[in-house]
């Protein structure tokens, strides 16, 4: 059954005469699926991510997540975007805890059981190869390290849906493939639904169960393909 549904969506930036970024965009991502979205630069991949997370509301069509029409930012979603956006006055650890402060069910627990969440954040940091970096400030980390910390922040509140927009962009190829394995294991172990935007087809094939290909702008899905062969799982 579908966790994410995009149905005949048009998204135009800058008013009625503005630029049409996506047109007639439709797709469905099933619960537990790992979907990748690929397509040329400027075709509307980031727009698609922002539509699903409720950062943008389309002029036409409907976006549904977990059966509810998206009309505002959705808090069951973890997001990691291309450019890490961490608050410079907070340590890396406190940045990772941020999503907990906006989700009611966690906010109350966070106040009373902070140590538990700090421990969890530290475990996540270790998973992405940043053990011991929690007390550093984001500006003390390299671009790639910030991207890895960003991934921890997307995961701290155990979202049902993880939206990843080129989250491995600034990584050297060695670290990138290490993180692919982290993400793949996470998907296998926790069954979290993942939508990954990438322009790296190899990355899409390595990670995803299903690949959506978008046309050039205005973007829509021109191919929807399950990955036809078994990938190594260890």
Which structure tokens are listed for 211?
């690949």
Q: How many CB atoms lie within 10 A of CB 11?
A: 25
Closest distance to ligand ADP from the beta carbon of 74 (Å): 18
The string of DSSP letters for 183-219 reads HHHHHHHH--EEEEE-S-HHHHHHH-SEEEEEPSSSB
Tell me, residue by residue from 3 to 32, as one string, x for binding to ligand ADP by CB under 6 A and - for no binding: ----------xx----x-x-----------
The smaller minimum CB distance to ligand ADP, of residues 32 and 169, is found at 169
- Residue 106's nearest CA partner among 148, 75, 71, 127 is 75
Which structure tokens are listed for 78?
């973890």
Closest distance to ligand ADP from the beta carbon of 35 (Å): 15
CB of 179 closer than 8 Å to CB of 190: no
The smaller minimum CB distance to ligand ADP, of residues 17 and 230, is found at 17
Closest distance to ligand ADP from the beta carbon of 223 (Å): 15
Which structure tokens are listed for 95?
């940045």
Q: Which one of the spans 42-50, 68-76, 88-96, 97-105 is the region binding ligand ADP (CB under 6 A)?
A: 42-50
The smaller minimum CB distance to ligand ADP, of residues 157 and 217, is found at 217
Strands (DSSP E) found in 31-155:
34-38, 60-65, 68-69, 77-80
Q: Which of 101, 119, 172, 185 binds ligand ADP (CB under 6 A)?
A: 172
Q: Which of 45, 120, 157, 187 binds ligand ADP (CB under 6 A)?
A: 45
Site for ligand ADP in 72-131 (CB under 6 A): none
CB of 51 closer than 8 Å to CB of 72: no
Site for ligand ADP in 127-146 (CB under 6 A): 140-145
CB of 18 closer than 8 Å to CB of 27: no
Closest distance to ligand ADP from the beta carbon of 160 (Å): 23
Residues forming a β-bridge with 20: 12
Considering the rule CB under 6 A, would residue 167 count as an interface residue with ligand ADP?
no
Binding stretches for ligand ADP (CB under 6 A): 13-14, 19, 21, 39, 41-47, 140-145, 171-172, 175, 217
């Amino acid at each position: 059954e579908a966790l994410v549904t995009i149905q005949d969506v048009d998204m135009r930036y800058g008013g009625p005469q503005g630029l049409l970024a996506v047109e007639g965009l439709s797709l469905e991502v099933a619960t537990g699926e790992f979907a990748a979205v690929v397509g040329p630069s400027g075709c509307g991949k980031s727009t698609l991510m922002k539509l699903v997370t409720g950062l943008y509301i389309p002029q036409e069509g409907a976006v549904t997540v977990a059966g509810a029409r998206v009309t505002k930012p959705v808090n069951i979603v973890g997001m990691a975007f291309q450019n890490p956006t961490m608050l410079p006055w907070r340590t890396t650890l406190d940045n990772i805890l941020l999503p907990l402060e906006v989700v009611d069910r966690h906010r109350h627990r966070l106040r009373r059981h902070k140590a538990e969440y700090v421990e969890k954040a530290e475990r996540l940091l270790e998973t992405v190869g940043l053990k011991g970096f929690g007390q550093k400030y984001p500006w003390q980390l390299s671009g790639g390290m910030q991207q890895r910390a960003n991934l921890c922040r997307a995961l701290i509140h155990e979202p049902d849906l993880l939206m990843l927009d080129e989250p491995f962009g600034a990584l050297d190829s060695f670290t990138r493939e290490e993180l692919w394995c982290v993400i793949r294991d996470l998907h296998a172990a926790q069954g979290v639904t993942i939508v990954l935007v990438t322009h790296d087809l190899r990355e899409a094939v390595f990670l995803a169960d299903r690949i959506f290909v978008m046309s050039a702008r205005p973007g829509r899905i021109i191919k929807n393909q399950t990955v036809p062969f078994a990938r190594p799982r260890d």
